[in-house]
Amino acid sequence: MSGAVSALDVRSVSKSYGATVALQDVSIELQPGEVHALLGENGAGKSTLVKILSGVVKPDVGAMRMGGEPYGPHSIVDARRRGVATAFQELSLVPNLTVAQNLSLPRQPKGSLGLVSGAATQKHGAAVLERFGLRLSPNAMVAGLTLAERQRLEITRAFACDPRVLILDEPTAALAETDWLFRLVRQATAAGAAVLYISHRLHEVRELCQRATVLRNGRSIGTVGLEDATDHTIFEMMVGRSQAEEMQHRTAAAQSTRPAVLQAQGLAGDSFKNISFTLREGEILGVAGLEGQGQRALFRALVGLAPLASGSVKVDGALVRLSGPDVALKTGRGIAFLPEERKTEGIFPALATASNIVLPVIGRVGRAGFVSERLEREAAAESSSQVDLNSRYLDFRIGDLSGGNQQKALLARAMQTGAKILLLYDPTRGVDVGTKQSIYAAIRSFAESGGSVLLYSSELPELVHLADRCLVVYGGRIFAEMPGGDINERTLVAALTGHSMQETAA
Amino acid sequence: MSANADAAAASAPGSNLSLAFRRGLTDGAGVVAILYVILFTLYALWDRSALTVSGVTNLSNNAAPLAIAAAGESLVVISKGFDLSVAGVVSLSNVLMASYPVEGPGGALVSLLICLGVGGAIGVVNGVLVAILRLQSIAATLGTMIMGQGLALVIMDAPGGTVADWVSYTLTDVLFGVMPISGLIVLAVVGLWLLFRHTDACTGLFAVGADETAASLSGISVVSARFTAFVGAGLLYGLAGFMLSVQTATGNPTAGTPFLMLTFAAVALGGVSLTGGRGSLVGAIIGAATLMLLQKVLFSGGVSSFYTGIFQGVVMVLAIVFGSLVSRLAATGARA
């Protein structure tokens, strides 16, 4: 391997934004045919490195070579022409254009007179979709696609350039199953492409990648062969402290005697039907499901963001009608919802973190109708300590925080409301290892102090470690319910795909 | 696997026509076109002369300047910007035409080129300020608007002057006995738009208007998209000023002032989203025509002209409410 010319060789690259050093002396080297993981906590500099490699920003110093030739793209189009294509984490699809148009940006196929040909664009789009096994209509507007469909399209667009170096930044954040992506990656590497794979999901990385380079605080800590490195070693490289202690299984007390706080009976709605469950005081009830099994609509219906066709909801034993998140908050002991898309549904990027946290209780941090900055800060500081959010972030604009810290702030906001029932929808999506631990701890202590949590997660280990019981949704129904002791990844995976536990046990 | 099933459902065949219909309604042009037909029917019932050639020519001449200005504004609005300089460009072109009349068809061409030059130049300035220096579009174009109006006052300090006779007679006339020339010019603008729709630049305009970051990560140059929008808009404002002079046959240094609010009204009425990324230049043109027609309808219906503004405002609000209802219904229909 060492004798071959590197597909991409980055040497001592640095980048600063004003006084903030984003990358310092970062080196990474990719071999042709290799899937190379880039690991690091949020804010470690992964995004900056991706932007430099894909031509969005220029490094201050450092040398890059591709296949032995100097490489210094001056734009994203230039990078693509030289053979580097990127599927971005924040998804770079234009919502008001069709799937086919997005696949041919920025230059669409031309017909006569040099004018863009709609038919040729559509044909090209259909061919690309066909080639990568994506069953989307080329004429569909991107705005109408689900998050998972958009993610697949973003990935497909990068693959369609037939790059020599492919950068996949959190490509599975919105995907529940990875077979499709991994197959494409393996095809590409078999053809000699190098893939830089960025993911927070270590089991994916282990399955797909041969080597990993770890970034921490903008520096490259080192490159390891994944076969020789334990999870512990990798975590330690990433977080730089022995925070990588194993998650212990929650000792599920016999809780069936605790009072029921949220009872759903025969709920049906947009994409789910006949859903019944009981959430008890102090309980963490897990919900597992592949993408698009109705769990999203279910969560949204429980706070009145989506309509309920039939069924009843009881909070603290009383029948309620939840017509919106504001009503849900004031119902019984209060229901707060942490939505899936923090950027569009959660944060107010231009406001300070503290203001974001206290937003639901803004009336309580004021005097005579005016918001008191001191009270706001005190309230925010109190709840941010519950989620282990460093109080120095409180005065920053939340938009400037890393994804993990934004998520902590949003969890703090949900707790700030005083609601004793939390509906958490994939609270650790795209969040780094250290932050995950803080979020787990916050959820646990919330439950221990008498709160109840309905937790959906796309990461099974999370449910295994956190949930007292776990519901598995499949095809819009509750397919299985597992008591705490029975929750393990094997049975969960089986249930997720619609196989009953008996079958797999046998 | 399940997502694929959803996708298959979404790509169910045979919905092309209803898709086109839905798009026509939701991009706003459909709603305002229906409104125009209703108003025109009312107008024709009240005033029989509406259906004569001179009636139609009158409407067309009346609406052309605002329609072309609104067309220009829609380019900037689609790319998620605001352009106030329309008032300055229209005033400036108008006083130039009235101060330096050039007779004959050749003269008309010279005047047109001057107007386009003025509009294009101001468009370039706007483009530099907004696209390249990244200033806020309202602030930057407010500046160029005031400059334009100030310059117009320097050239002509009070209403007066005369536009060349050839221009004011010929261009308000009718071709082949049926086709108003002003209408032809508006159609030519529409034709150019339909060609422009088939360029990467136009796709870039819509993309930048909807999501600037995604557009630039997709390889679209945000700078050139914005720049194109402002220069194209400036040229159209110049043409609007030219057509206004054709109409009024005289100069007025504040001739462009009413255009400021009315272009935005026409753009909004025509279903162009003021938040960018959605709409059509055709919608803006029909929106402008509707506003002008409404004046006529009210006049022929015997409503005092003092009430015109109230009616225009109410109709606009209703049209926008209706348009957003339709697009919301269409959106839920698409999801179901």
Q: How far apart are CA A443 and CA A431, in angstroms?
A: 15
**CB-CB under 8 Å, A92 with B217:** yes
Chain A, residues 109-128, CB within 8 A of chain B, namely: 111, 115-118
Of A86 and A239, the structure prediction assigns the larger pLDDT to: A86
For the cut 60, the answer to whether the pLDDT of residue B335 exceeds it is no
- Are the C-beta atoms of residues B141 and B83 closer than 8 Å to each other? yes
Task: Look at residue B137 in the predicted model and tell me its pLDDT.
Answer: 92
Chain B neighbors of A148, CB-CB under 8 A: 3
B115 with B235: CB under 8 angstroms?
A: no
CA distance A436 to A265: 32
Residue A213 forms contact with B (CB below 8 Å): no
CA-based nearest residue to B112, from B194, B235, B196, B229: B235
Q: Dump pLDDT digits (tens) for B16-45.
A: 455 555 555 555 678 888 889 999 998 988
The answer to whether the CB atoms of A291 and B3 lie below 8 A apart is: yes
Question: Which residues sit opposite B251 in a β-bridge?
Answer: B160
Q: How far is B286 from chain A (nearest CA, A)?
A: 23
Predicted confidence (pLDDT) per residue in A140-193, tens digit: 999 888 888 999 999 999 999 999 999 999 888 778 788 899 999 999 999 999
Q: Is B199 on the interface with A (CB under 8 A)?
A: yes
Q: Which of A256-265, B100-109, B294-303 has the highest mean pLDDT?
A: B100-109
Cα nearest neighbour of A175 on chain B: B3
Distance of CA B270 to the CA centre of its chain: 9
Name chain A contacts of B14, Cβ cutoff 8 Å: none
Q: Is B198 an interface residue toward A (CB < 8 Å)?
A: yes
B119 near B236, Cβ under 8 Å? yes
Give me B40's structure tokens. 């025109």
C-alpha closest to that of A56 among A18, A27, A84: A84
- Put simply, whether B210 touches A (Cβ < 8 Å) is yes
Taking contacts as CB-CB distances below 8 angstroms, the residues of chain B near A136 are 7, 10-11
Cα separations in angstroms, B274 against B76, B79, B289, B311:
10, 9, 19, 22
Of A96 and A21, which is predicted with more confidence? A96
Output the CA torsion A364→A365→A371→A372 (10° steps): 150
pLDDT at position B71 is: 96
CA distances from B266 to A303, B32, B65, B207, B280 (A): 40, 10, 12, 22, 12
The band of A415, judged by pLDDT with boundaries at 50, 70 and 90, is confident
Most trustworthy range by pLDDT among A172-181, A405-414, B145-154, B270-279: B145-154
Q: Which chain B residues contact residue A139 at CB under 8 A?
A: 16, 19
Q: Is B208 in contact with B221 (CB distance < 8 Å)?
A: no
pLDDT at A72 over 50: yes
DSSP string, A71-123: ---SSHHHHHHTTEEEE-TT----TTSBHHHHHHTTS--B-GGGPBPHHHHHH
Q: What is the 3-state secondary structure (H, E, C) of A330-365?
A: HCCCCEEEECCCHHHHHCCCCCEHHHHHHHHHHHHH
Domains, in order of start, for chain A:
18-92+146-239 (3.40.50.300), 97-140 (no CATH), 277-334+419-506 (3.40.50.300)
Between vectors from CA B47 to CA B42 and to CA B49, what angle results, nearest 5°?
Answer: 125
Q: What is the mean pLDDT of residues B163-172?
A: 87
The pLDDT score that the predictor gives to residue B269 is 87
For residue A504, the model assigns a pLDDT of: 38
- Cβ of A101 under 8 Å from any chain B Cβ? yes
- List of residues 6+ apart from A378 with CB closer than 8 A: none
Quick one: which of A170, A184, A192 has its CA closest to A87? A170
* CA neighbor of B217 nearest in space, from A98, A85, A295, A377: A85
Q: How far is A133 from chain B (nearest CA, A)?
A: 10
Q: Are strands A308-315 and A477-483 parallel, antiparallel or unpaired?
A: unpaired
A106 with B8: Cβ contact below 8 A:
no
What is the 3 state secondary structure string of A363-412? HHHEECCEECHHHHHHHHHHHHHHCCCCHHHCCCEHHHCCHHHHHHHHHH
Instruction: Kindly report, residue by residue over A418-451, the tens digit of the pLDDT.
Output: 888 999 998 887 777 778 888 888 898 888 888 8
CB-CB under 8 Å, B199 with A115: yes
Q: Does A139 touch chain B (CB under 8 A)?
A: yes
Q: How far apart are CA A42 and CA A434, in angstroms?
A: 9
Give dist(CA B270, CA B279) in Å, integer: 8
Stretch 77-96 of chain A: residues touching chain B, C-beta under 8 Å: 77, 80, 88, 90-96
Tokens coding B88: 């300055």
Min Cα distance A36 → chain B (Å) is: 23
Q: Cβ of A241 under 8 Å from any chain B Cβ?
A: no
Instruction: Kindly state the DSSP code that residue A259 receives in the 8-state scheme.
Output: P
Vertex A224: Cα angle to A223 and A226 (nearest 5): 140
Residues of A in contact with B278 (CB under 8 A): 96
Decide if B195 and A102 are in contact by the 8 Å CB cutoff: no
- How far away is chain A from the Cα of B251, in angstroms, using its nearest Cα? 40
Instruction: Select the residue of B6, B199, B221 nearest A292 (Cβ to Cβ).
Output: B6
Give the up-direction half-sphere exposure of residue A413: CA atoms within 13 A in the CB hemisphere.
Answer: 27
Q: What is the token pair recorded at A299?
A: 């969560």
A101 neighbourhood in chain B, CB within 8 Å: 203
B158 at interface of A, judged by CB pairs closer than 8 A: no
Nearest CB to B217: which of A88, A136, A144? Answer: A88
pLDDT at position A246 is 40
Beta-carbon pairs below 8 A across chains A and B: 102
Structure tokens at A497: 């795909």
Give the whole-angstrom CA distance, residue B70 versus residue B59: 16
Lowest mean pLDDT among A234-243, A267-276, A337-346, B190-199: A234-243
pLDDT tens digits for B203-231?
A: 999 999 999 999 999 999 999 999 999 99
CB of B335 less than 8 A from some CB of A: yes
Distance CA A15, CA A20 (A): 9
pLDDT score of A505 more than 50? no
Nearest C-alpha in A relative to B212? A94
b/e map A425-459, b = 16+ CB within 10 Å: bbbbbbbbbbbbbbbbebbbebbeeebbbbbbbbb
Return the SS3 of A422.
Answer: strand
Nearest by CB to B2, from A90, A97, A293: name it: A293
Full set of structural domains in chain B with CATH: 29-41+50-330 (1.10.3470)
d(CA A357, CA B157): 58
pLDDT tens digits, residue range A370-396? 777 787 888 888 888 888 888 778 888
Residues 93-112 of B with CB under 8 A from A: none
Query: For A178, which residue in chain B has the nearest alpha carbon?
Result: B1
B279 has a chain A CB within 8 A of its CB? no
- The neighbouring-strand residues paired with A478 are A473
Question: Hey, is the C-beta of B324 within 8 angstroms of any chain A C-beta?
Answer: no
pLDDT of residue A339: 85
Torsion of CA A130, A132, A135, A139, to 10 degrees: -70
